[in-house]
Amino acid sequence: MPLNHFVTLGRSGLRVSPYCLGTMTFGEDFGWGASPEESFAMFDEYRNRGGNFVDTANVYTFGHSERIVGDYLRQNKVRRDELVLSTKFYCNLFPGDPNGGGAGRKALIQQCEASLSRLQTDYIDIYWLHNWDQTAPVEETLRGLDDLVTAGKIRYVGFSDIPAWKTAEAQTIALFRGWSPIIALQLEYSLLERTSEGELFPMARSMGMGIMPWSPLKSGFLSGKFRRGAQGHVDTTRANMVGVPGEADYNVIEAVVEVASELGVSPASVALAWVRSQAGVTSTLIGARRLDQLKSNLDSLEVTLSAEQIGKLSVVSRPKLNFPAENNDTLAPMLAFAGMTVDGKTVRSFERLSA
């Protein structure tokens, strides 16, 4: 699947590449990441392969990521409308200013204006609420975002890292009021983080939201750098922030390595291909610190896993979900359908199970 085999994002008319270029690594201000020159090279690689979807945030490298993206667009005379450009708001870049971040009207408008300035553009395609602001009424946030759509400063609304119940409430209010709906969710998802399957995935599919996984390699844990019992230094500065894999994680990592060996590809390619194969996933966020890492991740679009390989990885990585997700998936169908086949799925009867 090439980058220019586009997919529609959620219940919208927006077409995007199956991989979105994540730019949290653009800039070295966090003590790790890519220089502006390396960032430009990765941007070139992504666009040359046909990619059209770029994601950033006001807080990435304290605003430097947005400036690098804006500088790239200007210096390369990129036709703005050919790119789907998204950024996020919520994080406060002004310590001591209570309205410097969050999702209140004053805060979100000033954050939008600042991002537009750094990006050197007059509109943002998708504007994401980065986290849940528990102090701001969601109606205020939604109306503020709808006003930005009306003003032409943003085109679509997205949510990132917000609880499922709050997202469902927000979507219901937006649809009832005739305000711009939430078209997509950004959430952490990988073979080592699947708990969003309990609430967020079914909610998104039901309410017309595309799912955009971030950290599909779990901060590099699934890249092939980490192996059980391996000796020596692992070349990943960011991993120092998130620790090392646990014992259960290594069971998943070893399964990924086995499948990668069968196919003759990298473990990262297998991990990315598994994420792409999951129902509801639209476009996956990929990022890199170096051009060679990005090239390898983009190459993974050519990797297709068999049903057996997907099943093997899904079983070894199966998470324990919060109640009532597992109850609804196993016990409830038995009680409802008593061994019948419904929608192509046959379930055991409760009586037979209890016997």
Q: What is the pLDDT of residue 217?
A: 96
Q: What is the pLDDT of residue 140?
A: 98
Q: What amino acid occupies position 268?
A: A
**For the domain 7-322, what is the CATH code?**
3.20.20.100
CB of 11 closer than 8 Å to CB of 183: yes
The CA-atom distances, in angstroms, between 10 and each of 54, 185, 205 are 17, 9, 8
Q: What is the pLDDT of residue 355?
A: 44
Read off the pLDDT of each residue in 59-83 and give the average, rounded to a whole number.
Answer: 97
Residue percentage of the chain with pLDDT more than 90: 81
d(CA 268, CA 246): 18
d(CA 52, CA 328): 38
Read off the pLDDT of each residue in 118-139 and give the average, rounded to a whole number.
Answer: 98
- Domain residue spans in the chain? 7-322, 323-355
244-262 residue pLDDT tens: 888 889 999 999 999 999 9
Q: What is the pLDDT of residue 52?
A: 98
Minimum mean pLDDT range among 64-78, 112-126, 231-245: 231-245
Q: Residue 231 pLDDT more than 70?
A: no
Minimum mean pLDDT range among 22-26, 189-193, 195-199, 233-237: 233-237
Q: Is 90 a catalytic residue?
A: no
Terminal C-alpha separation, the chain: 48
Of the candidates 19, 46, 60, 156, the residue annotated as catalytic is 60
Read off the pLDDT of each residue in 256-275 and give the average, rounded to a whole number.
Answer: 97
d(CA 254, CA 283): 26
273-292 residue pLDDT tens: 999 999 999 999 999 999 99
Read off the pLDDT of each residue in 198-224 and give the average, rounded to a whole number.
Answer: 96
d(CA 239, CA 40): 24
Confidence at 339, pLDDT banded by 50, 70, 90: confident
Closest CA relative to residue 179, chosen from 148, 202, 206, 209: 148
Q: What is the pLDDT of residue 345?
A: 80
